[in-house]
Structure 1
Amino acid sequence: MNRWRAFGLRTRLLLAFALVSVVTATGVAGLGYVRARDAIVQRAQDNAVIELTNAVEQLYPLSAGPETAADLERIAGRVSGRDEAARAESSGISGGGMESWVPSPELRATVAQGRVAWQRVDLSGTTVLVIGTQLWLTTSGEAHPSGITVFVGRTLTDESNAIGELARDAWLTGGAGFLLALILALLAAYSVLRPVRELRAAARRLGEGDLDARLEVRGGDELAAVAQTFNTTAESLQRHVGELRRMEADSRRFVADVSHELRTPLAAMTAVTDMLDAEAGEFPEVAGEAVRLVSRETHNLARLVDDLIEVTRFDAGTAALAVDDVDLAEAIRATLRLRGFSDVTGDLPAGVHARVDPRRLDVIVANLVGNALRHGAPPVAVRLAEEGGGILVEVTDHGPGLPDPVLPHVFSRFYKADTARGRSEGSGLGLAIAWENARLHGGTLTAGNRPEGGAVFTLWLPRDPEGGAAWVNGS
């Protein structure tokens, strides 16, 4: 069954039609051939028996007394017809032809019982019908055997030729029926598979995002019902996807509007809190701590708003690269120095250049190193290398690593591995923004665990995103 299913639907239909046609043609032609053959042979036997009976009746009345070979020769000559040979026997004497057609003992025994009997024998490839009968004498109104037995042999050449022609016609009829069945199978396969191919093409288009994909409904059979069901499902999907897209667009617009509206008052609040933070030492201890708390949370809120604005640019497709020829080792050192990441070791060989957006590269490295310092354990290391026609940046730590349930979601927005924490320093957007920036360059950003322990984040960027086919400018 599994081997049968390995064939395509077209092949299975053709094989099924071919099998049915072969069985049907063989059965019909074979049955017709057998019945016609038997009828031809039976008719030949009946005619031969009738002819022999009529010829024997012409011999009566027979004379009583012993028969000589000449008498038997005369009798055999009178009962033999065209294409026949005859033999008469009496008391061990025989006369006539048919020397090579010696009757079999079974036929002699049947004829000796007073019956007309016949038998088909094959002599050197020729079928011969041998018929035997006794001659009778009538004495005092009673019939009794005369002791003379007559055998007639008749070749069935004409009948064999007719049967051969019949067999040839049967084969020709079967072959024609087989070819006709194959043609019908091809037409049936085409009519059945055409809607299936159209359904497959429409389903592929629908899967690729073409929500306008529809099928033409033809007729009222089961395939038409399938096409109608597909169209109904596609319409429902298009309606729901449109609604989801509208809701998503409204949500993005709301986040963008709120973020931009918050930026202006946050800028003023940040300036005030910076000024208060500078003078926090002159306030009482409790008031100074409150001022520092307000200043810290205001800066966190400002970073969150900036991250949200950046995310909305990615979603809207307005994020773009401003590439420049950058010394990557120097750019990474500048990022570590600017963020105060003094506990980070680096394997940063000189002379590695690529065309990247310096600001976005700074965001990627800062987010990866900051995440390693917050959630991993020292030492944290950054490695720069050239690989696969591009550049490779690895950030590793010696912490507990990333649990398996976390790995698929590590670059998801607002995802935090430790759900028990009410809040943390991070917004949950840093790694998502780093991944988007890597994608914008036409590169990749992946996360995993080192065999010796600790997490590893691997960034790969092409040397020239603008010149490469993988460069993406938008969502």
Structure 2
Amino acid sequence: MRRFRLPLRSAASVFRPHAPRGLRVRLVVAFLLAAAFGALLTAGLTFHRARAAILDRAEETAVADLRTQLDSLAPDLTLPPTAEDLRGLTRQIDQAGGARAWRASASYRGGEPVAAAPGTPPVPDELRRAVQDSGRAVHQRTEHDGRPWLALGMPVAYTDDSGDTGTGTDTGTGADEDTHANTDADAGSLSGLTVYAVFPLDDDRADIDALVTAAEAGAVPALALALVPALFAARSVLRPVRRLRHGAERIAAGELDTRLDASGRDELADLTRSFNTMAETLERDAAELRRLEAGARRFAADVAHELRTPLAAMAAVTEVLDEDAASGVLPADTEDAVRLISEEVRALARTVEDLMEVSRFDAKAAPVHREDVDLRTLVTKTLQLRGWAHDERVRADLPEPAPVRVDPRRIDVVLGNLVANALHHGRPPVTVAVRVRGDRVEVTVTDRGPGIPDEALAYVFDRFYKADAARPRSGGSGLGLAIARENAALNDGSLTAANHPDGGAVFTLTLPSAASSLGTT
């Protein structure tokens, strides 16, 4: 015989949500989970109390009924009783049980219980030990043949000095957590007779199952009713969040004058006000930056424009002085000074021209005149114009036709700046290679120098950037690579910088290939 536990089916299986997506779904699911948890907790506590009340009532009633039967039947029993006397007593108790369907048995002085009805469930050993050890009435819930039963053990005691017997119990403890004690203030001396009664708890179990069924049936309507306030709560939370998202998208699109209506005193209203403050600050800072940038561009363009005329005059004068210096009519010190001035004037003139070109880029006013050409032809002309065609320091690798549609002047500027940069900052030989890659044409300029420092790779195309900050007088303005990248972009191309695995820097100019092939030149 094993101990009986009345089942409690969990209501958690009624609602098993899948992984939610979206803030609205998560809010609704969280609200419903909270409601379900509260309902489950309440139902569990209510079920526990109701179950305990039903079982306690059944136990108390059974103990009282059995005591009543013994009070009327035990005085007629002869002590010490025979087995037939015990069987007759249990038969009378079974007949008096009525609807409770007693299955009684009795024992004398620790003997085996004697039952009148066949098929009476055996008395649990722990219940018998508890009654014998304590001398008090004890009850225990058990299970037999898949049915719940309540087993009672009640010792019979003398109630007076005349020899009459009655039932007497005192506060006692059971053999385990399901065994309970009862009290009787009229307890006397024990007679050695113990009566056991076992009866089914089917009706009580049905009542408990009805409680569980009612709780499960009420869970779905409760969750359905909780869905309505959950949707309203999610809507009230998500409306300002949605407005904030739309506002952030408009600011990201450049509409810095975006403002949101802020009403209320909750956290979302405070967040909306903070958003408006942020947008106002961004708009003010962006306007100030645009003003400063426009002023800087205008200043650079105005300075470059104003310097062109005096620089042209200075260049003409230095050319005359260069001729005198070359003829040897000037003293040696004067000759050195003249050459120095000439170099600086030419460098300043190149810087001014670069600034003028940059100002045209910024103003989106740089003209582009496209032509269908072979990129190999542009590379060859660039090397010839700058005296690098027969220079052993520069090599050309032009294996196949590379048709492009570009502005030849601007591509010449790009190639000239890249080769000059490689000769100045790297080590020869400098290789200019042209390759066709599908619908793109690539020109790579590779040197054998130390390469570009890793920390400088991301900035080599910035204006006025020089990798060696300790040597600002490096012979260039720091605008050559920036102008080269701008010219590449004007021709729908790109310009990138990297380091070769074997050493040296690699600059790659990528241009779209022309639709028609031009053949070999």
TM-score scaled by structure 2? Answer: 0.71
Q: What is residue 57 of structure 2 aligned with on the other side?
A: 43
- SS in structure 1 of the partner of residue 276 of structure 2: helix
Q: Does 1:167 align with 2:186?
A: no
8 Å contact 1:137–1:143 — kept in the other structure? yes
CA distance in 2, matches of 1:333, 1:96: 121
Flag the 1:48–1:274 CA change in 2: closer, same or farther, 3 A.
same
Matched with 1:145 is 165
Unaligned runs of 5+ in 2: 1-18, 167-190, 516-521
**Residue identity matched to 2:489:** R
Q: CA deviation at 1:274?
A: 3.8
Q: Does structure 1 retain, via aligned residues, the 8 Å contact 2:107–2:195?
A: no
Equivalent residues in 2 for 1:43-442, closer than 5 Å: 43-52=57-66, 76=93, 79-85=96-102, 98-101=117-120, 104=123, 106=127, 110=131, 120-129=141-150, 142=162, 144-145=164-165, 154-173=199-218, 199=244, 202-203=247-248, 206=251, 209-217=254-262, 219-275=264-320, 277-278=322-323, 281=326, 284-286=329-331, 292-341=339-388, 342-343=390-391, 344-349=394-399, 351-421=401-471, 423-442=473-492
The verdict on how the C-alpha distance between 1:162 and 1:363 changes in structure 2, with shifts beyond 3 A counting, is same
The equivalent of 1:461 in structure 2 is: 511
- Shift in Å at residue 452 of structure 1? 3.5
Change in CA separation of 1:236 and 1:89 when aligned onto 2, cut-off 3 Å: closer
Q: Is the deviation greater in 57-66 or in 252-261?
A: 57-66
Looking at structure 2, the residues matched to 298 and 75 of structure 1 have their Cα atoms a distance apart, in angstroms, of: 135
Root-mean-square deviation (CA, aligned residues, Å) is 4.6
**3-state SS of the aligned residue for 2:435?**
strand
* 1:378–1:107 distance in 2 versus 1, CA, 3 Å: closer
Cα displacement (A) at 1:370: 1.9
- Give the SS at the match of 1:318: coil
- Distance verdict in 2 for CA 1:391–1:124, change over 3 Å: closer
Matched residue SS, 1:453: coil
Tell me, what secondary structure is at the counterpart of 1:98? coil
Q: Structure 1 pair 151/333, CA: closer, same or farther in 2 (3 Å)? A: closer
Structure 2 distance, partners of 1:419, 1:87, is 106
- 2:318 touches 2:342 (CA, 8 Å); kept in 1? yes
Match of 2:478, SS? coil
- Separation of aligned partners in 1, 2:91 and 2:396: 131
Residue type matched to 1:252 in 2?
Answer: R
Q: How big is each residue's C-alpha offset from its partner over 1:72-100, in whole Å with a ceiling of 9 and x where there is no partner?
A: 699558734335357697999x9996333
How many aligned positions are there?
458
Amino acid at match of 1:99: P
With over 3 angstroms needed to count, the CA separation of the structure-2 counterparts of 1:144 and 1:383, relative to structure 1, is same
Amino acid at match of 1:315: D
Paired residue type of 1:101? T
- C-alpha deviation, 1:461, in angstroms: 1.2
CA contact (8 A) 1:134 1:145 kept: no
Name the SS for the 1:392 alignment partner.
strand
Shift of 1:33: 1.8
Alpha carbons of 1:134 and 1:62: their partners in 2 closer, same or farther (altered >3 Å)? farther
Q: Do the aligned partners of 1:107 and 1:118 also contact (CA within 8 Å) in 2?
A: no
User: 1:251 is aligned with what amino acid?
Assistant: A
Contact 2:47 2:211 in 1 (8 A): yes
Match in the other structure for 2:170: none
Equivalent residue of 2:164, what SS? strand
Change over 3 Å in CA distance of 1:464–1:249 after alignment to 2: farther
Change (3 A) 1:166 1:269: same
Inter-CA distance 462–50: structure 2 relative to 1 (3 Å threshold): same
Question: Could you tell which deviates more after superposition, 37-46 or 104-113?
Answer: 104-113
Q: Is the 8 A contact 2:301 2:355 kept in 1?
A: yes
1:33 matched residue in structure 2: 47
C-alpha distance after superposition, 1:328-376 (max 9, x if no partner): 2222222222222341321234632210001101111111122223333
Aligned CA distance change for structure 1 residues 86 and 374 (closer, same or farther; 3 Å)? closer
Cα shift at 1:323: 0.6
**Helix, strand or coil at the partner of 1:442:** coil
CA pair 306-73 structure 1, distance change in 2 beyond 3 A: closer
* Kept in 2: contact 1:323–1:356 (CA 8 A): yes
What percent identity do the matched residue pairs reach? 47
**Which stretch shows the higher mean deviation, 174-183 or 226-235?**
174-183
In the TM superposition, residue 181 of structure 1 has moved relative to its aligned partner by 6.6
